[in-house]
């Protein structure tokens, strides 16, 4: 598999970072304020608030789907659905 220089981006992390420009061979690498890797959103301040906001939106969509598609509100029905659909997102 070939290495793709076009997909490379620089993420400057830390408060005292001088934000140097880097290059790979003859091509300059563009910098990015945030990047997503392995479904984890990382910004230059290592802040997780955007990651938590995206997770809350995803969970609310799942809850809405469960709420609109169910006719029974009994605990025996809803608990397995919550466990199967929401737990993987919250544990990740």
In a domain, 40, yes or no: no
In a domain, 39, yes or no: no
Q: Contact at 8 Å (CB) between 14 and 47?
A: no
Domain range for 82: 49-91
- Looking at residue 47, what is its pLDDT? 76
| Residue-level pLDDT, tens digit, the chain, 92 residues | 787 877 888 888 777 777 788 888 888 888 888 887 777 777 777 777 887 888 889 889 988 888 888 887 788 888 888 888 888 877 76
- Looking at residue 92, what is its pLDDT? 67
Q: Environment class of residue 3 by beta-carbon count within 10 Å: exposed (0-12), middle (13-18) or buried (19+)? A: exposed
Q: Environment class of residue 66 by beta-carbon count within 10 Å: exposed (0-12), middle (13-18) or buried (19+)? A: middle
Domain co-membership, 54 together with 29:
no
In a domain, 43, yes or no: no
pTM exceeds cut of 0.75: no
Residue that has been written with the tokens 């990740």 in this structure:
92
């Amino acid at each position: 598999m070939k290495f793709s220089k076009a997909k490379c981006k620089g993420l400057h992390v830390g408060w005292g970072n001088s934000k140097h420009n880097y290059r790979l061979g003859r091509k300059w690498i563009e910098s990015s304020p945030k990047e997503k890797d392995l479904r984890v959103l990382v910004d230059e301040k290592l802040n997780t608030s955007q990651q938590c906001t995206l997770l809350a939106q995803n969970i609310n969509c799942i809850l809405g789907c469960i709420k609109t598609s169910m006719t029974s509100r009994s605990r025996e029905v809803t608990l397995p659905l919550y466990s199967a659909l929401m737990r993987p997102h919250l544990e990740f």
